[in-house]
Amino acid sequence: MGDIHGDDSQCRSRSFSDSRRFSKYVKDNVHGNICLDQLALKFIDTEQFQRLRDLKQLGVTHLVYPGAVHSRFEHSLGVYHIAGEAVNEIKKYQGSELEITDNDIQTVKLAGLLHDVGHGPFSHTFESVFLPQVLPGSTWSHEDMSTRMVEYIVDEHNVEIDAEMLKKVKEMIVASSEHASLYSIKEKRFLYDIVANGRSGIDVDKFDYIVRDSRACGLGCSFQFERLLQTMRVMGDEICYRAKEYLTIHKLFITRADLHRTVYTHAKVKAIELMIVDALLKANNPLRIALRVHDPAEFWKVRDLGIFCAAVRILLSSSESLDDTIIKTIEASENPELKESRDLILRIRRRDLYQFCNEFAVPRGMLEHFKDITAQDIICSQVSGGISLKEEDMAVSNIKIDLTRGTNNPLESIRFFQDYDTDEKFSIQDERISHLLPGCCQDKIVRVYSKKPELVAVVSEAFENLQLKMFGRKAQVHATPKKKKSRSQMKPLV
């Protein structure tokens, strides 16, 4: 028996030594040292994953918040790290009870690492605003593309990974999306709620981006995800939280909503996003952007394009990649078909942005059945003559900000337990928490922008008339500044 134990000990020692030898530590400005294991490195050290370095986590937000230049590459490493922390915390106290294996831990961590590998450029603007206009009816999502990109990386680079593990990684990536129904998850369902949680909305993806984004934008962040990691417990195949942490959880959702309001949907950020979308729409045909979103091999890579140079009447070779650098490609190109796109990007560079005219919040009683406002709705509200507005003169942004559950309070979807020596789980109703909590958990905001500074006054007036027609009063909080309206007298209309 002594010899057997000695051999087993030596095997474990060699295994641990090999693991350390092939691991790598990187220094992250949020989580400190992150240990990347051998299998993770096989995915990271591919050109497909390295592409994430050229995708800013917050798209064009850095043009308003200069520090927001962090990438989806570092975010993915962060989610990988916290995913491992989360499943290890559960294993520490319930590992034998739940039969958590090293394979389970590896799978969850890989799902965290690869959850954004199929993301498009410019944050969510690419898939939620641009693609619906060029591919009407398309169900394209970055989660679905991530699963296909994972398969592509495995095949292209001969990554040795267990087939069952690969299947579970893909399932975990889409666990909170509408594509989750494609998979039948029969055991250890709680593992699928760690990276992307469609049941309660609490997941390590949010843990990382809330802290990382707040720090990059120079904002304070009082939400502490570590408290949730330390108190969570699996009950009935569901991750539950200690009841006394309900305010920490509420702070998670409130902080996320506040980031949406003050950062992600900042008025100038949205103005730039609208201009980027218009530039991509005008560049879509010459650059064949939409044709590349379904094939992983075409989606990620730099490719050669024949670009017509009018000056010398020859075809020049240029390169472009479907990441944030596509804007540089448009800027550098002399293709006459890209002139309108170039002009829009030049306007962004010179801070000649679409002008924010005004906004109003949809009244609470109308939230559920409110129909998005269109440019045509505003044009139809124009009363006085002089200048007849056209749809291309303005941009309308319909913004929805919630706590992850629409008009419902997400706390109602979360199960709590009182103490570790009880097996009862329960939900907590609003009235049992505090009367200071919001009575409504969703905002819908309608914003209008003038694409030409000289039309601000006209667009603003039509927008005010729309509010009078809809509500019998102006719903906007402030009048459009006179200095913006006065620009119509300073610049001639062209």
CA dihedral (43, 48, 51, 55) positive or negative? negative
Reduce the secondary structure of 132-183 to three states and give it as a string: HHHCCCCCCCHHHHHHHHHHHHHHHCCCCCCHHHHHHHHHHHCCCCHHHHHC
Burial (Cβ within 10 Å: 0-12, 13-18, ≥19) of residue 11: exposed
Phi, psi of 108 (to 5 degrees): -65, -40
Phi, psi of 27 (to 5 degrees): -95, 115
**Which of 50, 23, 16, 51 has the alpha carbon at shortest distance from 39?**
23
**CA–CA distances in Å: residue 438 to residues 23, 174, 364:** 47, 30, 12
**CA–CA distances in Å: residue 41 to residues 38, 117, 164:** 5, 14, 19
How many CA atoms does the CB half-sphere of 483 hold within 13 Å? 0
- Give the rounded distance of the alpha carbon of 198 from its chain centre: 15
- The total of other beta-carbon atoms located within 10 Å of residue 437's CB is 14
CA–CA gap between residue 364 and residue 469 (Å, rounded):
18
How many CA atoms does the CB half-sphere of 187 hold within 13 Å? 4
The side-by-side arrangement of strands in the sheet containing 355-361 is 355-361, 442-450, 394-402
**Which of 35, 50, 284, 41 has the alpha carbon at shortest distance from 149?**
50
- The total of other beta-carbon atoms located within 10 Å of residue 197's CB is 21
Place of tokens 């909305």: 201
416-417 and 238-242: which strand pairing?
Answer: parallel
Q: How many helices (H) and strands (E) does the chain have?
A: 21, 10
Catalytic residue among 75, 119, 142, 266: 142
Report yes or no: 326 and 121 within 8 Å, Cβ to Cβ.
yes
Phi, psi of 355 (to 5 degrees): -90, 120
142 labelled catalytic: yes
- The total of other beta-carbon atoms located within 10 Å of residue 346's CB is 12
Catalytic residue list: 142
